[in-house]
Structure 1
Amino acid sequence: MDNLQTMLAKDTLSAKMARAFITTREGERYLLFQAKTLEATLEKEKEEVAILGRMQKGHKSVSMKGSGTMTIYKNTALFDDMMLRLVNEGIDTYFDLQVENEDPTSDAGGRVVILTGCNIDKTTVASYDADGKLLEDEIGFTFEGVKIPKNFRMLDGMQA
């Protein structure tokens, strides 16, 4: 245990050192500088598998779904316009969401994740709060694919 290497604190990534971009199917690209938080998750759906000769059941992955939430400062009509296009024209908007994490202090480097086929579940079209501080909107969405064109580097000492 004396020779056990540990991670250096500098190699964590600051959660604030990120950028996000939306690219619509029409090729329009937007920098989401009003984005405050974002979390996108992949979730597996599994079926239980009864196995003869075993008391414990197994589990088999049968499908997956991607979903997420993003909180923005409400100072853009971008997401409202997407929803209004569906309401008024019957045209739903799909887009790709590119998320970049890069902390120049960390030896892990940066990461780029592209969520493809994103589609909004909900957005707030009107709100106020007399006790509130800043106008925000939490946007729920789903996505159909994930690409990671740039991933973190392996830190020294991780390879056992």
Structure 2
Amino acid sequence: MSFLYAKDTISGQSARAYATINGSVELMFYAKKFEAKVKKNKKEIKTLGKRGTQNKANGFSGTGSMTIYYTTSLFRKMMLEYTKNGVDVYFDVQVTNEDPSSSIGQQVTTVKNINLDEITIAAFDVESEAMEEEVTFTFDDWDMPTEFSAPTLG
């Protein structure tokens, strides 16, 4: 029976993330967690000859969130520009997952046209050793130019 070597699991600390905002590339060193999900939009279809309701995909929606250390004003500035001037900002984030001890190589995913939903504009917590904030977003496109290779099985 084959098994996955523990060394082929990917350490989250080995990831790299870059945001491209208005043509500038920013290393997202302040990010603690990033997650983008795609959900299919489906339409229920009823047909003659089948009692059950079938489903047909007719698009998708992209949502996500990131937990960041409370060390950057970047996202607050973007939201301030929208709330004061109506100028909304869309940006891309490229995530590279690569663990040097793993045999599966790297996966590069680009989440495109990210648009912020909600951000924290001010916060404090006297009991926090390292303040964090949650940033939620939507997106409408993504690519995966590089994918993991199959692991070496034991």
* TMscore range, shorter length: over 0.9
- 1:23 matched to 2:23: no
| Counterpart Cα distance in 2 of 1:131 and 1:107 | 41
TM-score (norm 2): 0.94
Q: Secondary structure at the match of 2:76?
A: helix
Q: Secondary structure at the match of 2:104?
A: coil
Unaligned runs of 5+ in 1: none
| Counterpart Cα distance in 1 of 2:40 and 2:126 | 41
Identity %: 39
After the TM superposition, which residues 111-126 of structure 1 pair with which residues of structure 2 at under 5 Å, given as runs? Answer: 111-126=107-122
Aligned mate of 1:40, from 36, 41, 55: 36
Q: Secondary structure at the match of 2:13?
A: coil
State the one-letter code of the partner of 1:17: S
| Counterpart Cα distance in 1 of 2:99 and 2:12 | 9
After the TM superposition, which residues 63-82 of structure 1 pair with which residues of structure 2 at under 5 Å, given as runs? Answer: 63-82=59-78
How far apart are residue 53 of structure 1 and its match?
Answer: 1.6
How far apart are residue 150 of structure 1 and its match?
Answer: 1.0
| Counterpart Cα distance in 2 of 1:15 and 1:31 | 16
Task: For residues 55-106 of structure 1, give each alpha carbon's deviation from its aligned partner in whole angstroms, at most 9, with x where no partner exists.
Answer: 2221101120001000000111110110011122211011011111110111
| Counterpart Cα distance in 2 of 1:48 and 1:16 | 41
Aligned mate of 2:57, from 49, 61, 65: 61
How far apart are residue 6 of structure 1 and its match?
Answer: 1.6
Q: How many residues align?
A: 153
Unaligned runs of 5+ in 2: none
Q: Give the structure, 1 or 2, with the largest relative contact order (CA under 8 Å, sep 6 or more).
A: 2
Q: Secondary structure at the match of 1:16?
A: helix
TM-score (norm 1): 0.91
| Counterpart Cα distance in 2 of 1:15 and 1:36 | 9
Could you tell me which residue of structure 1 aligns to residue 100 of structure 2?
A: 104
